[in-house]
């Protein structure tokens, strides 16, 4: 390739990149998933414990509890809930865009105490939530189209005994201390399934069915950690911190060009591609950007250019020692690579440890840090080298001053 065609290739790459970045960046920015601390919402870490003691929290009961939380949240119509189990007895719930946080949290946490009671004062507890098969209650229609609720019990024998004993009497359904309904037992029921009928409207029947299913939730949940962020505050954090990042990055770009001239311009180009590629990685990994994540992103800009600086300073040194531009470039990039990789590896070690211990937002920080280091290896080491190679070999920029070296500093070899 001739020198001028290398320059054309260089300019072509820049123009194409600028076009792609300008065209795709708004879309990328819009697609990025924001953490609760940026869009507002709340996160609760629950610790589950058995309602009645004795029983251990089993993986399946934890999973079922998660499912029932999901169902409750779905019923509320809250979009994109994130509910995950952690360890052996924890459930983390993240909800965004909730307008009635108090109500939702009450609903989630409430130790639903469903009881079926008998006796004149309705004070003898015959059955409670754990006697029912989870999600076993359903709505059916009788021959007249009236809604009836079917329930399933775990222990058919026990239910048979109860219904036999209470035939002709009431079996009142309580949620906590609130009487929901007081159906009469008409006959002994065997087989563990039963129907509750009455003059229910569809709405009432649905509510009763949901309550029984809710009552089958076997674990008590205690809030161990909560974070709640107002939507306005989140947006403000987002805007301020992104703005801070842009200001810092702009200063760095000016700083690089003043210090390193031509290579400084290349550093600037690689920083822009670093930001673009990191956004792309974020979206492809479906990672969540948190406030500390933005901080890591921004610090990453400062750290990414370290690779450029270490390499350029080394190249300057080689030029000063009297080597030709091309051999300075070769020696400079070779000698600086190991140092740059050392720096990246130690930073990755610290970030991985942070990821392992951290929770929510800090994990976002650690993850962003790791991504940003990996991306910067691509853009600020390899891509930067490629670009500077093209420029130097184009033979259009041969003066040492283009690289920030004064003629007087160059020694004879």
Partner 1 sequence: MHYNDKFHTNIRFDFIKHQKKFFGASLALVVLGIVSLLVFGLNYGVDFKAGTNMDIEIGKAVTQEQAKELLGTLGYKDLAPTVGGASNQRLSVRFDEVLEQPKVTEILNALKKQYGDQVSAEVNVVSPDMARELGVKTIYAVIIASVAIMIYVAIRFEWRFALAANIAILYDAFVVVALFSIFRLEVDLPFIAAVLTTIGYSINDKIVIFDRIRENLRFSKTKNKEQLAEMVNASLWQTMARNVYTVLTVLIVAISLYLFGSESIKLFALAKIIGLTSGAYSSVCIASPLWLMLRGKQKPKQTAKTSAAS
For partner 1, the binding residues in 358-377 under the rule CB under 8 A are 358-359, 361-362, 365-366, 369
Residue 406 or 411 with smaller CB distance to partner 1: 411
Least distance from partner 1 to the Cβ atom of residue 386, Å: 21
Please give the angle made by the CA atoms of 57, 63 and 65, to the nearest 5 degrees: 80
| 279 lies in the binding site for partner 1 (CB under 8 A) | no
Binding of partner 1 at residue 406 (CB under 8 A)? no
The strand pairing partners of 83, in sequence order, are 93
**Of 189-197, 210-218, 232-240, 326-334, which part binds partner 1 (CB under 8 A)?**
232-240
Give the chain's end-to-end CA distance (angstroms, integer). Answer: 29
Strand order in the sheet with 178-181: 124-128, 114-118, 172-175, 178-181
Total residues at the site for partner 1 (CB under 8 A)?
76
C-alpha angle 327/266/279, rounded to 5°?
130
Provide, rounded to whole angstroms, the least separation between the CB of residue 334 and partner 1: 13
Residues pairing with 172 in the sheet = 117
Stretch that binds partner 1, among 19-27, 91-99, 277-285, 356-364 (CB under 8 A): 356-364
Per CB under 8 A, contacts with partner 1 among 99-138 are 101-102, 105-106
**Residues 234 and 242 sit within 8 Å (Cβ to Cβ):** no
Secondary structure E strands in 293-397: none
CB of 271 to partner 1, least distance (A): 10
Shortest Å, Cβ 282 to partner 1: 18
* The one among 4, 84, 202, 236 contacting partner 1 by CB under 8 A: 236
Q: Which of 112, 287, 295, 325 binds partner 1 (CB under 8 A)?
A: 295
Q: How far apart are CA 263 and CA 325, in angstroms?
A: 12
Question: Residue 206: is it exposed, middle or buried by C-beta count within 10 angstroms (0-12/13-18/19+)?
Answer: middle
Binding of partner 1 at residue 205 (CB under 8 A)?
no
Is residue 113 within 8 A of residue 175, CB to CB? The reply is yes
Q: Is 84 in the site for partner 1 (CB under 8 A)?
A: no
Nearer to partner 1, 49 or 206 (CB): 49
**Footprint of partner 1 on residues 240-269 (CB under 8 A)?**
240-241, 243-245, 247-249, 251-252, 255-256, 259
**Residue 60, phi then psi, degrees to nearest 5:** -75, -35
Among 96, 69, 72, 97, CA closest to 83: 69
Contact status: 96 vs partner 1 (CB under 8 A): no
Residues 6+ apart with CB under 8 A from 289: 32, 33, 34, 35, 38, 282, 297, 364, 368
Report the distance separating Cα 12 and Cα 67, nearest Å: 54
| Sole window of 54-62, 77-85, 110-118, 227-235 interacting with partner 1 (rule: CB under 8 A) | 227-235
Task: Give the x-and-dash track for 28-67 against partner 1 (CB under 8 A).
Answer: ---------x--x----x----------------------
Name which of 139 and 337 has its Cβ closer to partner 1: 337
Beta carbon nearer to partner 1, 118 or 380: 380
Contacts of 208 (CB under 8 A, 6+ apart): 137, 149, 173, 180, 181, 196, 200
Q: How far is the CB of 109 from partner 1 (least distance, A)?
A: 8
Using CB under 8 A, which of 59, 223, 334, 401 touches partner 1? 223
Give the position of tokens 């801070």: 244
């Amino acid at each position: 390739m001739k020198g001028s065609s290398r320059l054309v290739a260089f300019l072509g790459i820049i123009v194409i990149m600028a076009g792609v970045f300008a065209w795709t960046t708004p879309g990328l920015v819009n697609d990025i998933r924001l953490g609760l601390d940026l869009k507002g919402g709340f996160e609760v870490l629950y610790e589950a414990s058995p309602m009645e003691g004795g029983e251990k929290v089993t993986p399946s009961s934890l999973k079922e509890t998660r499912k029932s939380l999901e169902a409750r949240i779905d019923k509320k119509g809250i979009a994109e809930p994130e509910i995950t189990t952690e360890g052996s007895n924890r459930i983390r719930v993240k909800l965004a865009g909730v307008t009635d946080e108090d109500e939702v949290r009450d609903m989630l946490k409430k130790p639903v105490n469903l009881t079926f009671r008998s006796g004149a004062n309705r004070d003898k507890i015959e059955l409670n939530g754990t006697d029912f098969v989870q999600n076993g209650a359903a709505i059916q229609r009788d021959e007249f189209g009236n809604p009836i609720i079917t329930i399933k019990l775990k222990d058919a024998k026990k239910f048979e005994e109860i219904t036999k004993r209470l035939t002709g009497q009431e079996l009142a359904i309580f949620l906590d201390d609130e009487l929901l309904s007081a159906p009469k037992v008409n006959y002994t029921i065997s087989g563990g399934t039963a129907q509750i009928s009455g003059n229910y409207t569809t709405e009432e029947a649905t509510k009763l069915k949901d309550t029984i299913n809710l009552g089958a939730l076997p674990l008590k949940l205690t809030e161990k950690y909560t974070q709640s962020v107002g939507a306005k505050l989140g947006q403000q954090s987002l805007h301020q911190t992104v703005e801070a990042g842009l200001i810092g990055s702009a200063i760095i770009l000016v700083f690089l060009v003043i210090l390193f001239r031509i290579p400084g311009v290349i550093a600037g180009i690689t920083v822009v591609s670093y930001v673009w590629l990191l956004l792309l990685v974020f979206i492809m990994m479906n990672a969540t950007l948190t406030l500390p994540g933005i901080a890591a992103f921004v610090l990453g800009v400062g750290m990414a250019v370290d690779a450029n600086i270490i390499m350029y300073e080394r190249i300057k040194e080689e030029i000063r020692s009297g080597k030709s531009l091309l051999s300075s470039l070769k020696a400079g990039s070779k000698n600086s690579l190991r140092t740059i990789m050392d720096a990246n590896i130690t930073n990755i070690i610290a970030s991985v440890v942070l990821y392992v211990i951290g929770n929510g937002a800090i994990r976002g920080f650690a993850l962003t840090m790791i991504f940003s280091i990996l991306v910067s290896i691509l853009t600020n080491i390899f891509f930067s080298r490629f670009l500077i190679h093209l420029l130097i070999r184009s033979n259009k920029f041969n003066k040492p001053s283009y690289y920030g070296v004064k003629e007087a500093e160059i020694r004879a070899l």
